Structure 1
């Protein structure tokens, strides 16, 4: 996962470490985190499970760091069990040596490496190379990035598993039970579409926007509404129009709907909801949610073109303002369908 926070300056290790939950969206545990530095500022942030770095090829991680545009990286190893153990430092040094070799192939180097037991107020960090530096982790919730995340509507999760639950199927039995209703609605919709393709698409887009507002207000969808939405997302023109909602004034409504559908619909219809959720999250600068949504979508359909394209963009560090340009297609389609979409909203300077 790659996340950018270009407005945060690298100053103190305790402050940098405390900022990681706000950037990643969750508190990392048993993790290797790379923070690319761009002109002394925090750039791309990449995290992998610590278990995957021991004796593993770190060239892909180095490629991601190089693609971020940074020139050096700060390495943070989060390990509650190993951090207090001086003998464990050799394992960390071995990881850093392998990483340094991989980075050097891209003209990058490690600026500093810190080991921390836990990322919370009172956590302790020390350097891995025996420099003697150590200190306390500042309060992550008092981090400027945490405050910015809250103001921008991003939720911070205690664990990665809590974030994963946002896109996980909530009730597999209920999801399976929706298949007959979806199939029945698909047959009825086919007749409507053949009679008037644009009219059918217009009605679906307008219905989706109305239901999104209801969902964001706390309403639950019934079986017929879920079936209608599942079928609507299989219509390319409808789906591509709905991508534009991610940059509109009612983007929060749309994202709430995509999250509900991601947790409720069965495959393969769930995949389209996951990709819409990923695009919405990516567009507003939430790389962690976008990444997990794409991971789930590609597990369901490895050949999904939009999911693959967004995943490639995210992994290569493409910034949200560039991704938002894709919404232009949705506005053009909406005009053809005769749908009035919410006006575009103004984004601040944030990137993932």
Structure 2
């Protein structure tokens, strides 16, 4: 199967099973822990990765509500199939043998995977109840569950595999080395976080001396903006702001060194407050400069104070969602809405994220907006 990629990218094939399990950090942007991950598969032969969703693994007991909400967030358009992966370090559990000795009285070809395993071992894989609930909810929606996998301690098990290779004490070792997907992630200038908390820390707002310095720079640039508006007029000021955005993006291409001063960060923060500039910046997420633009938005989010951080955080959320990184998108949107709760574009993107609006659909929307003179991307989103 091929990870979600931009139209200009060459697809990277994942064979499924252990390769899909090993790819999870690159699909969601960080190494998952104690998680349920649902991967929507689309296209012919269920060969293309669509929405990838991670939620905290439900506590022992009924998982129906958590699973139903997770499946709903895969989106209104039914995927061709779904892969469900349980990531946990939990110990094995007693094998669910209800019939006991009755298994010995039946032919082997009449037994399912769970019953065959029960004949060989007294333990079973953790998380089976969760994937069973996923299967039940998906069956109700008419969506096939193509893979059910356990990922634990650097190994992968297939819940549906009846062979000894997937007994609790076995499992397939996850492939090592640097995969093509890992290499593509690095070449694109992105780093995989150790966990979700690291993503939150990476996007944390400035504090202490850094906050004071940025506050002074933002105030200084705010006065400059007001003077320049009177001197240049709105159209010329907007064009200058757009040039500054493009220059910053050029300085953040993968492999380049780009250090922005506080004043440059402040000028960019003020620049994207203009709706015309914001919409043009939004469309960068669908083009060849997407990774460089995302690097700029990330730096602005890390360094700008409230409320100038809201628009860059929204731009970052759009860029992250386009490449399928729902975790970064959700964290960035939370930052934007904490800063400006009434930010319409952030609200619309948040709704799109929670209703499973596919990354490919957002990319298509931004691409079309870029091709239509005078039609802003935010207008097509409804902002």
When normalised by structure 2's length, the TM-score is 0.71
Task: Give the 3-state SS of the residue equivalent to 1:46 in structure 2.
Answer: strand
1:201-350 alignment to 2 at 5 Å?
Answer: 201-214=238-251, 217-284=256-323, 286-315=325-354, 316-320=356-360, 322-326=362-366, 329=369
CA distance, structure 2, for counterparts of residue 25 and residue 285 of structure 1: 9
| Residue 141 of structure 2: aligned partner | 106
Question: Per the alignment, do residues 70 and 284 of structure 1 end up closer, same or farther by CA in structure 2, a change over 3 Å counting?
Answer: closer
- 314-323 or 196-205, larger mean C-alpha shift: 314-323
* Residue 179 (structure 1) aligned with residue 211 (structure 2): no
Once the 2 structures are TM-superposed, how far is the Cα of residue 150 of structure 1 from its aligned partner? 4.0
- 237-246 or 323-332, larger mean C-alpha shift: 323-332
Q: How many residues align?
A: 330
Question: Per the alignment, do residues 136 and 142 of structure 1 end up closer, same or farther by CA in structure 2, a change over 3 Å counting?
Answer: farther
| Residue 105 of structure 2: aligned partner | none
* Residue 197 (structure 1) aligned with residue 234 (structure 2): yes
Over residues 223-256 of structure 1, what are the superposed CA-to-partner deviations in whole Å (9 max), with x where a residue is unaligned?
3223222222222222222223334454444322
CA distance, structure 1, for counterparts of residue 156 and residue 300 of structure 2: 41
- Residues 135 and 145, structure 2, Cα contact 8 Å, conserved in 1: yes
Once the 2 structures are TM-superposed, how far is the Cα of residue 160 of structure 1 from its aligned partner? 2.8
When normalised by structure 1's length, the TM-score is 0.76
Over residues 6-58 of structure 1, what are the superposed CA-to-partner deviations in whole Å (9 max), with x where a residue is unaligned?
96777552222122222222221111112334434253322111147864513
| Residue 338 of structure 1: aligned partner | none
- Cα RMSD (Å): 3.7
Question: Per the alignment, do residues 154 and 229 of structure 1 end up closer, same or farther by CA in structure 2, a change over 3 Å counting?
Answer: closer
1:164-175 alignment to 2 at 5 Å?
Answer: 164-171=200-207, 173-175=209-211
- 229-238 or 279-288, larger mean C-alpha shift: 279-288
| Residue 34 of structure 2: aligned partner | 30
CA distance, structure 2, for counterparts of residue 173 and residue 241 of structure 1: 33
* Residue 78 (structure 1) aligned with residue 78 (structure 2): no
Question: Per the alignment, do residues 140 and 275 of structure 1 end up closer, same or farther by CA in structure 2, a change over 3 Å counting?
Answer: farther
Give unmatched runs, 5+ long, in structure 1.
336-352
| Residue 56 of structure 2: aligned partner | 49
Question: Per the alignment, do residues 275 and 105 of structure 1 end up closer, same or farther by CA in structure 2, a change over 3 Å counting?
Answer: same
Task: Give the 3-state SS of the residue equivalent to 1:156 in structure 2.
Answer: coil
Question: Per the alignment, do residues 228 and 52 of structure 1 end up closer, same or farther by CA in structure 2, a change over 3 Å counting?
Answer: farther
CA distance, structure 2, for counterparts of residue 40 and residue 197 of structure 1: 50
- 288-297 or 69-78, larger mean C-alpha shift: 288-297
Over residues 50-104 of structure 1, what are the superposed CA-to-partner deviations in whole Å (9 max), with x where a residue is unaligned?
1478645132212133646324433211111x14455795872332343334333
Question: Per the alignment, do residues 129 and 65 of structure 1 end up closer, same or farther by CA in structure 2, a change over 3 Å counting?
Answer: farther
* Residue 160 (structure 1) aligned with residue 196 (structure 2): yes
CA distance, structure 2, for counterparts of residue 157 and residue 272 of structure 1: 24
Question: Per the alignment, do residues 5 and 98 of structure 1 end up closer, same or farther by CA in structure 2, a change over 3 Å counting?
Answer: farther
CA distance, structure 1, for counterparts of residue 37 and residue 12 of structure 2: 16
CA distance, structure 2, for counterparts of residue 214 and residue 10 of structure 1: 33
Question: Per the alignment, do residues 40 and 181 of structure 1 end up closer, same or farther by CA in structure 2, a change over 3 Å counting?
Answer: closer
Question: Per the alignment, do residues 313 and 171 of structure 1 end up closer, same or farther by CA in structure 2, a change over 3 Å counting?
Answer: same
